[in-house]
Amino acid sequence: MDRFLVKGAVRGLMGKREKEQTGAGPAGLAEEEGNSRKKPRRVALENGVDEEGLSWRHIRAEGLDCDYTVLFGKAEADEIFQALEKEVDYFTGTQVWISEALPCFPCTGALARVQVFGKWHNVPRKQATYGDAGLTYTFSGLTLSPKPWVPVLERVRDRVSLVTGQTFNFVLVNRYKDGRDHIGEHRDDERELAPGSPIASVSFGASRDFFFRHKDSRGKHPSRRMGVVRLQLAHGSLLMMNHPTNTHWYHSLPVRKKILAPRVNLTFRRVLPTTK
């Protein structure tokens, strides 16, 4: 299968933009843009380096629009990771799923076990949700209210808003204890999300592979042959998944058994207020 590969993390003020593409065909649509669209606020269009000293990598393909940077230096990222380990209260409840078509539905932020075709399975990660007062998140008849913000989550949220100009009122926290913990292919396209709003994914801890697969290239008999886009999400990194990425592309964090260290991922979202 043709692939567009983005390797490694951005380093330094002028970290090189890297891409590796093998084969031909639809995968060739993927590219890193320099100045053809509006970038996150503060990003200098001429060289991809913003006034905060961040170097942005722009990942593009048909219907895929993402921006990537290392947002926190190692010392600060280490500090935040330790604070997350102390402050985040993960959910320990259960919820029933009746379809294998939803093996890793990520937006409840509150699952410890799931039922697939009558059998119970542990969710291969820990989850929690935090956000503004009055918000709710509903799926499969279950309505969830996020916990109030804690300082470390507010700190990360505010930094993301500063460099992107986007605001967020909800965050899903996923903790992966090692490389065996994972999340399957899914799209973050739930109806509670504000239409057209981006999702900001911030990672701390072990660096992990992250895959995008176009919806038409999934399954044993895909209707199209499109390249998988693979990133490596580094400690302290930010991945902005802009519209319409979650309409057309599934993403996943696959098993990597050789990774022994934990990772915590924060996906900041803009959730519509509950209507009465």
User: Would you tell me how many other CB atoms lie within 10 Å of the CB of residue 155?
Assistant: 16
Average pLDDT for residues 45-58, to the nearest whole number?
Answer: 73
Find the distance separating the first CA and the last CA of the chain, reported in whole Å: 49
Tens of pLDDT along 158-179?
A: 999 999 999 999 999 999 999 9
Q: Check residue 138 and give its pLDDT.
A: 60
- Of the candidates 210, 197, 215, the residue with the CA atom closest to the CA atom of residue 238: 210
User: Would you tell me how many other CB atoms lie within 10 Å of the CB of residue 75?
Assistant: 9
Sequence letter at residue 261: A
- What the block records as the tokens of 123 is 């969710």
User: Would you tell me how many other CB atoms lie within 10 Å of the CB of residue 140?
Assistant: 12
The pTM assigned to this predicted structure is 0.75
Which of the 8 DSSP states describes residue 227?
Answer: P
Q: Check residue 155 and give its pLDDT.
A: 98
d(C-alpha 77, C-alpha 55), whole Å: 17
Higher per-residue confidence, 184 vs 189: 184
Q: Quick check: 198 pLDDT over 50?
A: yes
Higher per-residue confidence, 169 vs 185: 169
